[in-house]
């Protein structure tokens, strides 16, 4: 029996987003008051992320019985991340140099409100690459779960999974317990996903109520350049990868429509992470690959953020009439490759990484970031959408590279594209 359309999750989320936009535009005060609904849903989703990663990684590695294979998967994932992320950075630079979205803006840095961006600049300077790497090691397993740090939980899960694998049959009761815990956690996810429309409504109503569409008009060229560039990256670059693997990027996007709409509504890719991991596993990707690549990708494979950083940095330079040499542009590229990892997990990470990138080229006034602060929230949605799509394609590619992608299951799933909660 066919499910009534009004009971389908993605339909509910679309309606909720539209209602949120209408409320925020008609009554900004009411729209801003809806913020706790979006915040509550994102917190609910983040609440289960550590357990999802732990259970998925531990059961996947314990089932491998091969530590070398885990290292091989991780190595392939890093290679993929770096190649595709570099392409994203280069595309951002190319679009900025060709389209010149900041040309003619003629902003005077002395008249800009530098205080509005000082907090982001402070966060960018507060953590070096070494600090980031050391921070992957938690003070204790409990601390990692309490903070919800994705990479810390991933590290502990890797060690726990290796230990179970080394102990063999003696650890079977613990392995079974983790598998049962995972089943319970994914059932909780299904419960939480029923609240997705409410979360999307609250977050979208707040965004429109707080910032309004009027904020987009002065920076329409930058917004359009970024959205079109991100769309072309997904359709052309990621599309070429999926075509190489034997399926259409458009069908893949349709398959992930619930997660993408959720990210669009909440501007947070983390809100869709638990359901995404389950869905990719059901698509035919190996559990261990999903458990390793998806969490790592949230820190190391930020395609949307990379496009944004180079495009926004050059926009600020153009808007403030700052001429950059080829060497300075190359420096921005190199630093962006590092800073996109170093600031992951920081609130407003896209803006923080931009501050860290601009800081290495003193000629670009940091105050210029105030020009795009008002529309950053709108661009964060596109960043998150591109990031989650890129990580999903990365997981499928690494599964194929490991010869652990069930193509029959993938084609079957892309054929009818059901959501996890409908399975």
Give pLDDT tens digits for 329-381. Answer: 888 888 777 766 644 444 456 677 777 778 777 788 877 887 787 677 778 88
Write out pLDDT tens, residues 404-417: 899 989 989 887 54
pLDDT on residue 128: 57
Which CATH number is 297's domain given?
Answer: 1.10.3860.10
The torsion region of residue 403 among left (phi > 0), alpha (psi -120 to 50) and beta comes to left
What tens digit of pLDDT does each residue of 286-337 get? 888 888 888 888 777 888 888 988 898 899 888 888 888 888 888 888 877 7
Residue 421: both structure tokens together:
């909660």
Give per-residue burial for 371-398: e unless 16+ CB within 10 Å, then b.
bbebbbbbbbbbbbbbbbbbbbbbbbbb
Residue-averaged pLDDT of the chain: 82
Whole-structure pTM value: 0.80
* Number of domains the chain contains: 1
Q: What is the mean pLDDT of residues 244-271?
A: 87
Alpha carbons 300 and 398: distance in angstroms, whole number: 14
Give the residue numbers spanning the domain of 53: 5-422
CA quadruple 18, 20, 25, 27: dihedral positive or negative?
A: positive
- Alpha-carbon gap, residue 177 to 44, rounded angstroms: 23
Provide the phi-psi class of 284: left if phi over 0, else alpha when psi is between -120 and 50, else beta.
left
Find where tokens 């990470």 sit. 349
Burial of 75 (0-12, 13-18, 19+ CB in 10 A): exposed
SS3 sequence, 365-401? CHHHHHHHHHHHHHHHHHHHHHHHHHHHHHHHHHHHH
Q: How confident is the model at residue 115 (pLDDT cuts 50, 70, 90)?
A: low
Q: Which two tokens stand for residue 173?
A: 């009761």
């Amino acid at each position: 029996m066919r499910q009534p359309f009004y009971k389908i999750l993605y339909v509910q989320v679309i309606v909720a987003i539209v209602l949120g936009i209408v409320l925020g535009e008609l009554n900004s005060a009411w729209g801003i008051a809806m913020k706790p609904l979006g915040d509550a849903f994102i917190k609910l989703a983040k609440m289960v992320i550590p357990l999802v990663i732990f259970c998925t990684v531990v059961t996947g590695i314990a089932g491998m019985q091969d530590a070398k294979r885990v290292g091989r998967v991780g190595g392939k994932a890093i290679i993929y991340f770096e190649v595709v992320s570099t392409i994203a950075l280069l595309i951002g630079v190319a679009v900025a140099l060709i389209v010149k979205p900041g040309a003619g803006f003629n902003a005077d840095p002395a008249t800009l409100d530098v205080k509005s961006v000082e907090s982001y600049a402070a966060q960018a300077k507060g953590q070096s690459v070494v600090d980031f790497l050391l921070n992957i090691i938690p003070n204790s397993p409990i601390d990692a779960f309490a903070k919800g740090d994705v990479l810390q939980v991933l590290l502990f899960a890797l060690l726990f999974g290796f230990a179970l694998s080394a102990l063999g049959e003696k650890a079977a009761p613990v392995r079974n317990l983790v598998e049962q815990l995972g089943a319970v956690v994914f059932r909780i996810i299904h419960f939480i996903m029923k609240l997705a429309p409410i979360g999307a409504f609250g977050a979208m109503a707040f965004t429109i109520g707080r910032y309004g569409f009027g904020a987009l008009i002065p920076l329409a060229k930058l917004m359009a350049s970024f959205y079109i560039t991100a769309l072309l990256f997904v359709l052309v670059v990621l599309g070429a990868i999926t075509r190489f693997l034997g399926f259409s990027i458009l069908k893949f996007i349709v398959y992930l429509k619930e997660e993408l709409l959720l990210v669009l509504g909440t501007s947070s890719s983390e809100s869709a992470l638990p359901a995404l991991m389950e869905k990719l596993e059901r698509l035919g990707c190996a559990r261990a690959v999903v458990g390793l690549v998806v969490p790592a990708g949230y820190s190391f494979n930020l395609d949307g953020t990379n496009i944004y950083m180079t495009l926004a940095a050059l926009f600020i330079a153009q808007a403030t009439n700052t001429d950059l040499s080829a060497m300075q542009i190359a420096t921005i590229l190199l630093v962006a490759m590092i800073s996109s990892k170093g600031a992951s997990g920081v609130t407003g990470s896209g803006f923080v990484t931009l501050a860290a990138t601009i800081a290495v080229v003193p000629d670009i006034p940091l105050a210029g970031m105030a020009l795009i602060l008002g529309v950053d929230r709108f661009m964060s949605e596109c960043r998150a959408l591109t990031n989650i799509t890129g990580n999903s394609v990365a997981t499928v590619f690494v599964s194929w590279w490991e010869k652990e992608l069930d193509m029959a299951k993938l084609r079957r799933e892309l054929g009818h594209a059901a959501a996890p909660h409908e399975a």
